Every structure is written in structure tokens, then in C-alpha cells.
């Protein structure tokens, strides 16, 4: 009998983190789920730990790291369930995490494509890590509630998009949108999916009772590669999704954001490489826009209000002073 939920866990050298995640899944009160672990070419004993701690899990093993987006897509394609949950390897879900997500999704309208968990800092569970993501007109994605007291986020409601580190999606929603964009490799691929869903008329909700402890910063990528990817992906996210009229209207804010992060990352060569790596993608982006933009289900005004007017970062002038003092 086909289970109701497939849980997909992408893994890359996660031996130090994976056991806590798998053991937490074994303790879930909701049991009607299957687990797919997608190993992205780990060189540690991650695969052996999966066999030891989750022998019932299906393991998809690759010889090289193909990125978060490709890994979760592999699990999504292999699933035959009504819902798909994504879970980072550095998480530890509370026992009722999945039960609360499934209950909320069962009660939601068909246009709710995904649900966000309450992600708490593993080092201090009284503090929020992420209660859903947002996107600003400076191109900055932000974790909703990050660093604030978990007690402030006891009510559910609509959000911009879920963080894919601990989220539940309708399988039909993922199939309709084609899953995650594998060009992103890692970083912002969930914000991209969230924005694409919103442009197609979908909504997302936050489920405060679905709690997950999250360590964070477990990708292990070198800082320079992170800067290159996040810089490229920020531009890719905006260019491939937003109407031209809005890109022009908010050009000053978008330029401000790029200058801000160019300074903030303090890796100018890596950031420049990120910008340049967008150029080969432009012909593909143009073709995609021609196919997608005429079919958007939102008005320009509705799209404009999806993004926040300002990013939650220090002013550029303050950042520049700090940078030049270093």
C-alpha cells in the first residue's frame, strides 16, 4: 500500500549529523511515510549510517555532488505519494512534526502548495531559525523570525514561501512546477520554487506546531564557492521570474542590493564570477520568460506586493565603513 508521505533527505558527508535526523524520524507519531535518502557523493560513512539507522529507507547514491536541488528532485521523482516532505540532514524534528504538517495540509485548500515548519536553533530551541522565507526588492531572501523568541510565533498564517530544509509539499504542486530548478545547485532554490508557485496562484502557510531543531551551515562548501553561487542565484531568481516592468520599476532597489552584497561578502572575485556566470544562462532565461510570463495568474500589482520593500540588513553606508576599517 502506498504511504501518504515521502520524506526526502539530501545528504553530503553528513555522518556527524545524520543519525539524529534518522532517529527523530523513527520516533514520529505519524507513521504513514516512506523515506528516500539521496547521497550526493559522500566520502564519509553516511551511506552505512543510513543502512544502520534507517534500514527501511530507500537510498539513492551518486558518485559526485550534484547539489541540493538535483538531490531533492530525484527523491520527488521517485515518490508516488500524495505529499512530499523535505528535510535537511542537520535537522531533528519533534515527534509530532509530521503529524502536524499532514493534518494542516489535509485541512487546507487545494491552492496551498506547501507548508513551512517552525525551525528552531539546535543550540537554543527557544530561538527561531526560520518560520518561512521572504524576498525583498533588493533581491535579498530572509528567514522569517530568525533570532527572535519562538514564543512570538505561535500562530499560523500565510507566508511568502517555505524553507525547504523542513517543509511539506503537495506532490501535484511539485509536478506541475517541475520541481526545483537544478541550475541553482544550492541556495535560493526553495525561494525560486516558492516564487514560481505564487506566480501560478499557489499559497503557502506556516504551521507553528510543526517544530524542527536545525543546526544550520552544514553544506560545507568553501566560502568563495558559496559567494559565487548565492550571487549568481540571486540574479537568476529575479531575472527568470519577475515581469520586466517590475524589474525596471525597482531597478534602483535591485542595484542597491547587488552593491550591498558585493561589499558584504568581502569576496569580490567570487562575487564577480557569480555575476559573470549568469551570462551563459541569459538565452535560456529569455526563452523561459516567453513561455511563462504570458501565463501568470497574478496582476502586476499582486506580484509587486509579494516582495517586501526593504531588506533586513544594516544600511549600505554603515556596511561600507565597517568594510574599509578591516
What mean pLDDT, rounded, does the chain reach? 93
Gap between the Cα atoms of 82 and 317, Å rounded: 49
Task: Tell me the whole-structure pTM to 2 decimals.
Answer: 0.93
Confidence of residue 106 (pLDDT cuts 50, 70, 90): very high
Q: Which of 109, 240, 132, 229 is nearest to 177 (CA)?
A: 240
| DSSP string over 71-132 | HHHHHHHH--SSEEEEE-TTEEE-TTHHHHHHHHHHHS-TTEEEEEEEEEETTEEEEEEESS
Mean pLDDT of 242-255: 94
Whole-angstrom distance, CA of residue 260 vs CA of residue 313: 9
3-state secondary structure of 166: strand
CATH of domain 5-214: 3.90.550.60
How does pLDDT run across 18-54, given as a tens digit for each residue? 999 999 999 999 999 999 999 999 999 999 999 999 9
Q: How many CB atoms lie within 10 A of CB 234?
A: 25
Distances (CA, A) of 42 to 36, 46, 143, 226: 16, 7, 28, 19
Identify the three-state secondary structure at position 288: helix
Q: What is the pLDDT of residues 215-232, one digit of tens each?
A: 987 666 779 999 999 999
How far is residue 30's CA from residue 25's CA, in Å, rounded to a whole number? 9
**Closest to 90 measured CA to CA, from 218, 212, 187:** 218
User: Exposed, middle or buried by CB within 10 Å (0-12, 13-18, 19+), for 147?
Assistant: exposed
Residues with Cβ within 8 Å of residue 149, at least 6 apart in sequence: 126, 127, 128
Q: Where are the domains of the chain?
A: 5-214, 223-325
264 pLDDT tier (thresholds 50, 70, 90): confident
**Which tens digits make up the pLDDT trace of 160-196?**
999 999 999 999 999 999 999 999 999 999 999 999 9
**pLDDT value at residue 292:** 87
Q: List pLDDT tens digits, range 107-162.
A: 999 999 999 999 999 999 999 999 999 999 988 899 999 999 999 999 999 999 99
Amino acid at each position: 500500500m502506498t504511504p501518504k508521505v515521502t520524506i526526502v533527505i539530501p545528504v553530503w558527508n553528513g555522518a556527524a549529523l545524520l543519525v539524529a535526523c534518522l532517529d527523530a524520524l523513527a520516533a514520529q507519531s505519524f507513521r504513514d511515510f516512506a523515506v528516500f535518502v539521496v547521497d550526493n557523493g559522500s566520502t564519509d560513512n553516511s551511506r552505512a549510517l543510513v543502512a544502520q539507522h534507517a534500514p527501511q529507507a530507500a537510498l539513492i547514491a551518486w558518485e559526485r555532488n550534484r547539489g541540493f536541488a538535483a538531490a531533492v528532485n530525484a527523491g520527488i521523482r521517485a515518490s508516488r505519494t500524495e505529499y512530499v516532505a523535505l528535510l535537511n540532514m542537520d535537522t531533528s524534528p519533534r515527534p509530532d512534526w509530521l503529524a502536524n504538517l499532514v493534518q494542516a495540509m489535509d485541512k487546507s485548500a487545494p491552492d496551498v502548495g506547501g507548508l513551512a515548519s517552525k525551525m528552531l536553533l539546535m543550540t537554543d530551541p527557544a530561538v527561531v531559525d526560520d518560520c518561512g522565507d521572504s524576498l525583498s526588492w533588493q533581491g535579498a531572501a530572509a528567514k522569517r523570525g530568525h533570532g527572535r523568541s519562538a514564543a512570538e510565533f505561535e500562530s499560523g498564517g500565510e507566508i511568502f514561501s517555505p524553507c525547504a530544509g523542513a517543509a511539506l509539499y503537495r506532490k501535484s504542486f511539485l509536478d506541475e512546477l517541475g520541481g526545483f530548478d537544478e541550475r541553482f545547485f544550492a541556495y535560493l532554490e526553495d525561494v525560486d520554487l516558492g516564487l514560481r508557485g505564487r506566480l501560478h496562484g499557489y499559497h503557502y502557510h506556516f504551521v507553528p506546531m510543526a517544530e524542527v531543531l536545525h543546526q544550520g551551515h552544514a553544506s560545507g562548501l568553501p566560502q568563495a564557492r558559496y559567494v559565487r553561487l548565492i550571487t549568481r542565484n540571486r540574479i537568476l531568481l529575479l531575472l527568470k521570474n519577475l515581469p520586466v516592468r517590475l524589474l525596471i520599476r525597482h531597478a534602483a532597489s535591485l542595484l542597491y542590493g547587488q552593491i550591498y552584497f558585493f561589499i558584504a561578502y568581502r569576496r569580490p572575485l567570487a562575487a564577480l564570477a557569480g555575476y559573470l556566470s549568469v551570462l551563459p544562462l541569459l538565452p535560456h532565461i529569455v526563452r523561459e520568460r516567453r513561455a511563462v510570463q504570458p501565463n501568470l495568474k497574478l496582476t502586476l500589482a499582486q506580484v509587486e506586493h509579494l516582495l517586501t520593500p526593504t531588506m533586513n540588513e544594516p544600511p549600505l553606508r554603515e556596511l561600507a565603513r565597517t568594510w574599509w576599517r578591516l
